[in-house]
Amino acid sequence: MNHAQAAPRLRAPVLVAVMLVTACQTNTEPVATPEVIADIRAQATSLGDSGLLASAVRQRVLQSTSGATVVTLGEATHGTREFFLYKNQAIQILTESGTRIVAFEAPWAATRAVNAYVQGEAVPEAVAMTALQYNVWRTEEVRDLLRALRAANATRSPSARVQFVGVDPQDYGFTTGDGTMAQLDTLLRRTNLLLANQVKQYYAAAGAIADTATRAGRFTSAQATRFTTLLREASTAVAAAAPQLAASLGESDAAWAVRSAEVLRLFGDQAVKSGAGDEAGAFTLRDSVMADNLLWWTRRTGTTQRAVFWGHNGHTGVQDADGVRTAGWFLRRTLGNALVSVGFSFGGGQYNANVPNDPQTAPPAPSSTVDGALASALTTPAWFDLRTVTGSLATWFTQAKGTRWLGAGGDSSPTRYLPYALSPMFDALIFVPNVTASRKLP
């Protein structure tokens, strides 16, 4: 989904591929019969004042995620307080139950500073928040999550501490001090100056091509070929030096360096696709890399660690969406039922889109949509395990359509309903009848 970044420092000519939709909901008839409305009310697990932390609800969450290697937590907007608070609670439940990786839809390299903060290192909170780069995460709710992870880690042994990782190849600090190129260069210079200089030359040449293409608004065919070749040669050079890097840097830093060079190569491919107008291809590539990066982190200890992934519905849903394949789609095909995807839906209210006139207002969803039918049945937030609902409701969740997925930067209309059913797009659902905007930090 689109983001509003902290500063437009990206050198490659790509912003963010938005979810492409070839059709939207146009039906005007109610999508839920009285029988379905009754089933919604009967089978919903109500979220009271304690939300997911109430004992009975906590048990439902643990039952729904039992056996999962990865749990993905979506959101129907990038700026809703209730979504963020419930995700914070879900992360608390999961990390208290053994999950050791919290992955974010945030840049691969810059978020190393966030992890240092979460580990209790002397990293100022403001630096950690800035390292997230995307302004959609600069909120009280996300800040409170990082504080909670840091506090909980202070009570754990080093081997049991939760790691915070970014999995997005998209990097608005592409060549700046906290970006992937700069951090990779710092690591290489600690052990192999010749390799560091060679890789830096590759990236400098690629950056010059990207600058030229950015000014022109696109890559020429020759530029695209040379740009991707340079990034591939840099990745190959770092990978070839892996044994020597491991001997001098340690296996962990060496593996991160090799993966970082590959992430940069793939980000370059994404930039070329986006610059050529292939937004569906760019979105799919970006999401495949997010999935691969997440799985890479789960394998880092030599055994598979459990992870929870925070992202937008448009990245965490497991179904192909009009030819666009999401991170959830790729994770499902790798993990099967060891992935549990939790989606979010809402009836109406306010949210932030990270534009000057925030907050935005989403009008009440009509009864002709899934969102509207749920809102007509429920007055309080609710949890559903979409795999265990029964009767008419089980069929309804797989057939009824019309849900809002709103990005940032004003790229989505709050009255546009996507023609997707909530199941099997998601394994579980949190529905909030009326939402409020996330609380932005200064």
What's residue 15's pLDDT?
32
Burial letters 179-204, b for 16+ CB under 10 A, else e:
bbbbbbbebbeebbeebbebbbebbe
pLDDT of residue 434: 98
6: pLDDT strictly greater than 70: no
- pLDDT score at 3: 60
Instruction: With cut-offs at 50, 70 and 90, classify the pLDDT of residue 411.
Output: low
> Rounded CA gap, 330 and 314, in Å?
13
Chain segment 243-301, per-residue pLDDT in tens: 999 999 999 999 999 999 999 999 999 999 998 999 999 999 999 999 999 999 999 86
Looking at the DSSP assignment, which residues form a beta bridge with residue 346? 432
Per-residue model confidence as pLDDT tens digits over 302-349:
566 899 999 999 999 999 887 899 999 999 999 999 999 999 999 999
What whole-number distance in Å separates Cα of residue 189 and Cα of residue 245?
11
Please, are residues 25 and 368 in contact by the beta-carbon 8 Å criterion?
yes
Gap between the Cα atoms of 330 and 320, Å rounded: 10
Tell me the two tokens of residue 196. Answer: 């560091």
- Terminal Cα-to-Cα distance of the chain (whole angstroms): 23
The rounded percent of the chain whose pLDDT value lies above 70 is 92
- Give the closest residue to 151 by CA, choosing from 87, 198, 95: 95
Q: Measured between alpha carbons, how far is 244 from 90 in angstroms, rounded to an integer?
A: 41
- 173 vs 283, higher pLDDT: 283
pLDDT in tens, 180-229: 999 999 999 999 999 999 999 999 999 999 999 989 988 999 999 999 99
Phi/psi of residue 32, each to 5°? -120, 130
Cis peptide before 30 (omega within 30 of 0): no
In this model, does residue 17 exceed pLDDT 70?
Answer: no
Residue 10 clears pLDDT 60, i.e. is over it: no
- Please tell me the predicted confidence (pLDDT) of residue 5: 47
Q: What is the DSSP letter of 433?
A: E
pTM: 0.94
| DSSP bridge partners of 310 | 73, 104
The string of pLDDT tens digits covering residues 21-63 is 444 655 678 899 999 999 999 999 999 999 999 999 999 999 9
Q: Which two tokens stand for residue 377?
A: 């049945």
